[in-house]
């Protein structure tokens, strides 16, 4: 994905804050990108930003080495909005004062608007904002005017309209600031004068044009995983280059119920994409026979997946001197690009899908989603007509059901887990909870337990229900599913899935647990 012209740039003084601001700007239909504060003014201005937002951050302006900005930027006439740390930095660098008053503000705070400002155009005199600061701005820079205060901040906002510089001590990007979204819109539309044109349709148009320019008349390969990222990436590339695209779906026998059929239905029948469907379950079960160590399983699955992918690519004529596909589609998203820290092309992710594809396959990467956040990817997927089920599917680990089958992975045990998992998902969907949960699935432990069914004693597997809420999978909380729902899932699994006689609920958060059992 190539850069988009004339962005709003968010200078990153603290990753989560900057990311949230960038997302909010895009929600206002204005394209935004995150840049590090280490860029010089010339480098920032070379991007031709239509506005610049300085994010909050965890540092104090007094802390060494607290990040600063090239002050040349303040003379360029590009509208600037400083938020929290960004506001304090503006105050200090422009000649105002920031002090450690010892009276910070954290959480909901009453704000009084004291002077007219385009940012506060439709605000009442008093409103609730979200603050999180230890230092305070005590004096505005020469030429600036204070526009708001709070109980502990004599300057909760200031501006210098002539220089087009605006600063707020609170966080307009968080939902707890009552009119935060409006404030950002005022900055973007009224102060910067930007027409909101970043829409899902425009994203698609831009990316389709970029893919066409990159690929020309050559052939492109895409490995589908059944997940949303590879599906949307494939759909964008297909819109761009049509039947120059070949998709590969390796059915490992460890997919969720209906996944292989869904991929076939969506990509082959609906989109009429050239789809190579490799039915490789036997190879995977053979390779996994007798293996119980989780990392060993991952390695075996990853390696075999790569081997199969290479076979397909070779069959299609790829490789040194070959006439086959030279380009490989990768569903890299913007958070991965930011995390790589450089903004440079990310190399193929090792964690992606099934262990990552080998670099020595010698493909040039096509990454049509590399500037998008997950919610934008979903919106693009919807816009391109992908089924809701694909677009809203919960994340699924590359090694598939294998890391949810504790102990040996056999065809029989995978069958039990897949059937139980399908019932968990079906009931969670029916209860309207599927999209609210980060993941919800079944786990098959490596023990059997005694039960009674009818007149007989049973000795069969338990199934564990695992459902979590999370924002990013780094931490997670176990979902408080309604008891009636848990009961319905349990009784359906025991009655409908052969080989299961007991159901348990996992009530472990992450940390100390992980989301998956292996």
Q: How far apart are CA 13 and CA 165, in angstroms?
A: 18
- Take residue 94 and report the two structure tokens written for it: 């422009």
398 forms part of the interface with ligand XMP (CB under 6 A):
yes
- Told to check if 297 binds ligand XMP by CB under 6 A, we report no
The reply to whether 381 sits near ligand XMP by the rule CB under 6 A is no
Question: Minimum CB separation from ligand XMP for residue 165, in Å?
Answer: 42
Q: Kindly state whether residue 514 participates in binding ligand XMP, applying the rule CB under 6 A.
A: yes
d(CA 171, CA 228): 32
Measured CA to CA, the distance from residue 201 to residue 382 in angstroms comes to 11
Q: Please, which residue, 57 or 398, has the CB nearer to ligand XMP? A: 398
**Which range binds ligand XMP by CB under 6 A, 60-68, 179-187, 394-402, 422-430?**
394-402
Closest distance between ligand XMP and the C-beta of residue 120, in Å?
41
Residue in the block written with tokens 């029916």:
430
The residue (of 274 and 438) whose beta carbon lies closer to ligand XMP is 438
Pick the catalytic residue: 171, 186, 238, 352? 171
Tokens of 251: 């059915």
Kindly state the smallest distance separating residue 371's Cβ from ligand XMP, in Å: 22
Cβ-based nearer residue to ligand XMP, 324 or 513: 513
User: In degrees to the nearest 10, what's the CA dihedral of 71, 73, 79, 83?
Assistant: -50
Taking the least distance from each CB to ligand XMP, the nearer of 37 and 397 is: 397
Q: Which is nearer to ligand XMP, 131 or 402 (CB)?
A: 402
Closest CA to 327 of 356, 367, 299: 367
Give the active site residue among 33, 105, 173, 376.
Answer: 173
User: Is position 227 an interface residue for ligand XMP (rule: CB under 6 A)?
Assistant: no
| Beta-strand pair 245-251/439-443 | unpaired
Comparing CA positions, the residue from 350, 359, 230, 250 lying closest to residue 298 is 350
475: contact with ligand XMP by CB under 6 A? no
- Which residue from 105, 35, 89, 104 is spatially nearest to 57, judged by alpha carbons? 89
Are 270 and 234 a contacting pair, CB within 8 Å?
Answer: no
CA end-to-end span of the chain, whole Å?
34
Q: Which stretch binds ligand XMP (CB under 6 A): 136-144, 371-379, 409-417, 508-516?
A: 508-516
Q: 330 and 365 in contact (C-beta within 8 Å)?
A: yes
The length of the chain in residues reads 518
Please choose, out of 45-53, 82-90, 422-430, 509-517, the segment that lies near ligand XMP by the rule CB under 6 A.
509-517
Among 239, 256, 298, 418, binds ligand XMP (CB under 6 A): 298
Work out whether 181 is an interface residue with ligand XMP (CB under 6 A): no
149 is catalytic: no
Count of residues interacting with ligand XMP (CB under 6 A): 13
Minimum CB distance to ligand XMP, residue 476 (Å)? 7
Binding mask 103-142 for ligand XMP (x = CB under 6 A): ----------------------------------------
User: Secondary structure of 205-266 in the HEC alphabet?
Assistant: HHHHHHHHHHHCCCCEEEEECCCHHHHHHHHHHHHHHHHHEEEEEEECCCCCCCHHHHHHHH
| Nearest C-alpha neighbor of 424 from the set 479, 470, 381 | 479
Binding range to ligand XMP, per CB under 6 A, among 133-141, 267-275, 379-387, 393-401: 393-401
Query: CA dihedral defined by 473, 475, 477, 479, rounded to 10 degrees?
Result: 0
Mutual orientation of helices 374-383 and 200-215 as an angle, nearest 10°? 90
- Write the CA distances from 73 to 18, 52, 165, integer angstroms: 18, 10, 11
Asked if 173 is an active-site residue, the reply is: yes
**Is 73 or 354 the residue whose CB approaches ligand XMP more closely?**
354
Q: Which stretch binds ligand XMP (CB under 6 A): 92-100, 245-253, 275-283, 398-406?
A: 398-406
CB of 72 to ligand XMP, least distance (A): 43
Q: Select the span of 45-53, 124-132, 266-274, 510-518 touching ligand XMP (CB under 6 A).
A: 510-518
We find the least distance from the C-beta atom of residue 254 to ligand XMP, in angstroms, to be 12
Q: How many helices and strands in the chain, by DSSP H and E?
A: 14, 21
Residue 351 found at the interface with ligand XMP (CB under 6 A):
yes
Interface with ligand XMP by CB under 6 A: which range of 134-142, 149-157, 376-384, 507-515?
Answer: 507-515
* Of residues 456 and 512, the one with the C-beta less far from ligand XMP: 512
Read out DSSP for 406-462?
-S---HHHHHHHHHHHHHHHHHHHHTT-GGGSSEEEEEB-S--EEEEETTEEEEEEE
171 is catalytic: yes
Minimum CB–partner distance for residue 137 and ligand XMP (Å): 40
Query: Which residue's structure tokens are 């909870």?
Result: 433
Applying CB under 6 A, among 145, 473, 486, 505 the residue interacting with ligand XMP is 473
Q: Which of 33, 84, 259, 427 is catalytic?
A: 84
Query: Quick one: 24 or 466, whose CB is closer to ligand XMP?
Result: 466
d(CA 158, CA 319): 60
- Contact status: 399 vs ligand XMP (CB under 6 A): yes
Interacting residues toward ligand XMP by CB under 6 A: 298, 351, 395, 397-399, 403, 439, 473, 510, 514-516
Query: Which active-site residues does the annotation give?
Result: 84, 171, 173
């Amino acid at each position: 994905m190539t850069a988009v012209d004339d962005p709003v740039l968010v200078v990153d003084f603290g990753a989560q804050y900057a990311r949230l601001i960038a997302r909010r700007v895009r929600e206002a239909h204005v394209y935004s990108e995150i840049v590090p504060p280490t860029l010089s003014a010339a480098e920032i201005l070379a991007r031709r930003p239509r506005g610049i937002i300085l994010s909050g951050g965890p540092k104090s302006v007094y802390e060494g080495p607290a990040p600063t900005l090239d002050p040349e930027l303040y003379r360029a006439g590009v509208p600037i909005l400083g938020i929290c740390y960004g506001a304090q930095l503006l105050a200090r660098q422009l000649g105002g004062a920031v002090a450690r008053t010892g009276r910070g503000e954290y959480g909901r705070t009453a704000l009084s608007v004291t002077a007219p400002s385009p940012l506060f155009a439709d605000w009442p005199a008093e409103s609730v904002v979200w603050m999180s600061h230890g230092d305070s701005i005590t004096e505005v820079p020469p030429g600036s005017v204070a526009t708001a205060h709070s109980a502990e901040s004599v300057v909760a906002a200031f501006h210098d309209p002539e220089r087009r510089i605006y600063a707020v001590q609170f966080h307009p990007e968080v939902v707890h600031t009552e009119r935060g979204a409006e404030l950002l819109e005022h900055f973007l539309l009224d102060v910067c004068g930007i027409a909101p044109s970043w829409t899902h349709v425009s994203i698609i148009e831009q990316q389709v044009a970029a893919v066409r320019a990159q690929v020309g008349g050559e052939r492109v390969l895409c490995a589908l995983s059944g997940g949303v990222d590879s599906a949307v990436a494939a759909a964008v590339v297909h819109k761009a280059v049509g039947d120059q695209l070949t998709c590969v779906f390796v059915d490992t026998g460890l997919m969720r119920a209906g996944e292989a059929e869904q991929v076939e239905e969506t990509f082959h029948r609906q989109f009429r994409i050239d789809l190579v469907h490799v039915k490789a379950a036997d190879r995977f079960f053979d390779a996994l026979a007798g293996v119980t160590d989780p990392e060993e399983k991952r390695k075996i699955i990853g390696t075999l997946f790569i081997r199969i992918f290479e076979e397909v690519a070779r069959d299609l004529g790829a490789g040194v001197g070959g006439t086959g596909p030279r380009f490989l589609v990768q569903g890299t998203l913007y958070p991965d690009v930011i995390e790589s820290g450089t903004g440079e092309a990310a190399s193929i992710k090792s964690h992606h899908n099934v262990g990552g594809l080998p670099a020595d396959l010698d493909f040039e990467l096509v990454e049509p989603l590399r500037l998008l956040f997950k919610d934008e990817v979903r919106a693009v997927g919807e816009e391109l007509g992908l089924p809701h089920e694909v677009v809203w599917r919960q994340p699924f680990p590359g090694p598939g059901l294998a890391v949810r089958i504790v102990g040996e992975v056999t065809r029989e045990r995978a069958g039990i887990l897949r059937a139980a998992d399908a019932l968990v998902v079906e009931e969670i969907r029916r209860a309207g909870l599927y999209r609210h949960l980060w993941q919800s699935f079944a786990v098959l432990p490596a023990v059997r337990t005694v039960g009674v069914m009818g007149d007989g004693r049973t000795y069969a597997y338990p199934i564990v229900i695992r459902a979590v809420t999370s924002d990013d999978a780094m931490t997670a909380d176990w979902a408080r599913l309604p008891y009636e729902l848990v009961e319905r899932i349990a009784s359906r699994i025991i009655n409908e899935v052969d080989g299961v006689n007991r159901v348990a609920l996992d009530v472990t958060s992450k940390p100390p647990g992980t989301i998956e059992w292996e």
